[in-house]
Amino acid sequence: MWINAFGDCCVDRYRDIGRQFPGGGSLNVALHLARLGATTRWIGRLGNDDNAEIVARAFVEPRLDTSRVQRVNGETTVVDVDLVDGERTFTGWVEGVGLGVELTDEDLRFLFADADLVHTAWSAEFSTQPVPWCSGGAGLSVDFVKDQFADARPVLETVPVTVATFSRTSEDQPKLDRLIADVHSLGVPWVLVGMGESGAVVSHRGARCFQPAESIEVVDTLGAGDSFIAAALTEIVKGSEPPTVARVASQYAARTCLSYGGGAEGLPLTDVNEPRPTER
């Protein structure tokens, strides 16, 4: 099983507990894929500062190949995270260089050749490199983050996507039904919708399964969606049906909420009193 990923990375900085963690959606997904037994390649972009070395600590994960990670002049992306009853809130950031990545032809071959799936999160790169990403026979998984079909539609109309993931906070059931139907109508076989404590929905060509959230004592929700995606992708590649995909992914995501950070080991903050990043 070969599932690769590319895209964002950052340092998640928790001032309340004085810890910092490697993070970013695509890197978190890659870490969890490797832990779940997939052979995984990941490409992201780091700066040339000390924070880059914090992110690089995540690269020691067995089965994770980061040999084509890009190092550029500039600051590594940093995000400030606050927790209230385990629910994470992003309170500020340094944009840095880690929000996207420009892929060369060699990068594309590295990611797509021989892979079963390649995962990323939505970014502006879709407008400049949609066709090459579909070469090599690998399916494409895209995390669109929010449940806005208008944002996803331009991508889904031009790029053959195998798995589309959305995060939903609304309780509007008709809106959820429309979202799933609209995404399937553009040829996407798998639609995943994470709804936090309200559970998750997995739909394969319209065959839908709702999975209630696990009952746990939440420590930190950061990275739960990323771990859900990773577990779902591994089950999809295995050929599992929607009920199994939903159950396994939800259980795995719940375990992520039992500790701090999105998946990688953390470090003490060197100076918790330094200025916060610019507020979003």
How far is residue 18 CA from its own chain's centroid?
24
CA–CA separation, 182 and 152 (whole Å): 10
Over the chain (280 residues), the average pLDDT of each successive run of 10 is: 96 92 95 97 96 93 96 96 78 88 92 94 62 69 86 89 90 91 98 94 97 92 94 99 98 94 85 48
Give the model's pLDDT for residue 279: 47
Give the model's pLDDT for residue 209: 97
pTM (two decimals): 0.92
Give the model's pLDDT for residue 148: 79
Give the model's pLDDT for residue 275: 43
Tell the residue number behind the tokens 């553009």, with chain if given.
186
CB 120 within 8 A of CB 101: no
CA–CA separation, 77 and 46 (whole Å): 8
Give the model's pLDDT for residue 274: 54
What domains lie within the chain, and their CATH numbers?
A: 3-266 (3.40.1190.20)
